[in-house]
Structure 1
Amino acid sequence: MEDNKEGGIVKKGHDDGVEMAVSLLREFELPEGLLPLADVVEVGYVKGTGYMWIVQQKKVEHEFKMISKLVSYDTEIKGFVDKKRIKKLKGVKAKELMLWPPVSEITIDDKQPGKIHFKSLAGITKTFPVEAFAAGQ
């Protein structure tokens, strides 16, 4: 994965990192509250490939109250960001009953505006309203 970072734009520090992460979400038409980050060390993005990575000092657990969903964000989150989707996502898990399956893809479907889909490696897809992931949720 280190090869993917070549030629990337990198922001160090919490404020610059969060600002870059939010601007990437905005640019690709993804909800701004999708990645609740804390103590960001570095955020990077490679325009040519869409590869994005975020490094935080510690793991973050966040509850999206509108949908009562607990999500865990690892110290390193990475994936490929594209218009209305993040694929090959690593470092994000959503609690399902007693399990924490990894989320491998996040997509907003043009056929269902207002809906966001989370796909796990097991092929299970969960759909929620996009507004549940608005900034400040």
Structure 2
Amino acid sequence: MADPKEGATLKTGHEEGLKFAVSILEEHGLPLGLLPLANVIEVGFVKTTGYMWILQAKKVEHNFKMIKKLVSYDLEITGYVEKKRIKKLKGVKAKELMLWPPVNDISIEDPPTGKIHFKSLAGITKVFPEEAFATGQ
């Protein structure tokens, strides 16, 4: 099996990695606050396949205040980024009552409605206002 990281652009260190991750989200029409990262070690992106990975020094839990949703970001986050979507996402979980089902697909409606969809393998789909994931929320 081919290495999904082959041909990747790689940025290391928190400043460069965070800037790179945000630029990837921006380029694909995704909310810039979608990945509130801390202590980034490296961010890689393969433009031809859309494969992205992020390595962090520690797990991050972020509370999106507007929608009162606690989201957990693992040490390693991977997925395939395309226009208005991240699929086959690994390393992100959103708290639902007492459970933390993994989020594996994030998409924005096209044409834009201001809504963002989160799907889990468990079949749970949640829809939130896109602005809840703007930078600084």
Give the TM-score normalised by structure 1. Answer: 0.97
> Shift of residue 123 of structure 1?
1.6
What stretches of structure 1 of length at least 5 have no aligned partner? none
Residue identity matched to 1:21: A
* Aligned equivalents of 1:124, 1:43: Cα separation in 2: 28
Question: Which portions of structure 1, spanning 4 or more consecutive aligned residues, are displaced by more than 2 angstroms?
Answer: none
What stretches of structure 2 of length at least 5 have no aligned partner? none
State the match for 2:4 in structure 1: 4
Q: Note the 1:118-133 alignment, pairs <5 A.
A: 118-133=118-133
Say yes or no: does 1:110 pair with 2:127: no
Q: Note the 1:1-137 alignment, pairs <5 A.
A: 3-111=3-111, 113-137=113-137
Fraction of identical pairs, as percent: 72
> Shift of residue 58 of structure 1?
0.3
Question: Would you say how many aligned residue pairs link Structure 1 and Structure 2?
Answer: 137
Q: Deviations over 1:38-79 (max 9, x none)?
A: 000000000110000000000000000000000000000000
Give the TM-score normalised by structure 2. Answer: 0.97
* Aligned equivalents of 1:22, 1:4: Cα separation in 2: 21
